[in-house]
Structure formats: C-alpha cells, structure tokens
Structure 1
Amino acid sequence: MIDAIAFKYRTGTPWRDLPEHFGSWKDAHNRLRKRAADGTWAKVFTALLAQADAEGGLDWVVAVDSTIVRAHQHAAGSLKKGRRPTMPSDAPAVD
C-alpha cells in the first residue's frame, strides 16, 4: 500500500492508472484517505522526523519564495484620462 501511494505521488498519475502489481487502486486510495482522516499519517511522519532529527539525519533548510506577480496596468488601479477615482459611498465627495 505504501509503495502504491508513493508511486502515485512520485509520478503524478491518476489513481486509475496505478500499475496492477500494486493491487486495486481503489483499495490504495481508500486506505490513504482513511489513514489521513484518522491522523495516522501525521503520527507516522512526526515519529519519522523525530527519529531522523535525533540521529542527525536531517539538515534543515528554509527556502523563501520571492516571486513577484505584477498586475496588468488596467488592473493596477491607474487612472484613465477624464476619470475620477471612485469613493466609498460614506466618504465625503471632494470637489
């Protein structure tokens, strides 16, 4: 079951395309779903991380994504000629 789940997520294939030697794809999917719902996977991963950390097998690296997303000029709030900025209805109008 663990090999089937690892294969599925490593390759990104749909569940139905799981090779036959892993057994029924429905069984693997249902077991994964049930174990996730009852917290089994969280306990397993926590225990594995604690064991690897205690043995010095983990090298912690933190990565920060600094991707910049730019909006098109029409979506960025730029003013067009002859248009006034909109005001909230409760704000006083400025003339």
Structure 2
Amino acid sequence: MFRFIWLSDQRWGQLEPHLPKNQLGARRVNDRRMISGIIYMLRTRCRWCDCPAG
C-alpha cells in the first residue's frame, strides 16, 4: 500500500490564503485533498492515467 502524502498544517496554512474563494461554477472539492494528491503524483512519478476515477 502506498503512503499518502498529506500537507502539514503549517504548509497548508501557507498555501490556503492563495486559493480562490467564492467563485461561480461547479462546487469546489476539498482543496487540501486535491493538492495533496497532486503532490503525491509528482513525488512518486506515477502516471496520471493510473489515477483512480473520482
């Protein structure tokens, strides 16, 4: 099983103020989860086509 990479509270606190808020369009998902997933993909060099759907 792969170890999931989760942003620390300190890193998230630095990043969160730069994310858009109150935008029109589709409902936003959990930003911290999405960014942690992107970092995981980049660190493990996994192929994007191997990501699970949803």
Higher relative contact order (CA 8 A, sep 6+): 2
Whichever of the two has the greater Rg, that structure is 1
Common fold, TM-score beyond 0.5? no
Q: What TM-score do you get using the length of structure 2 for normalisation?
A: 0.38
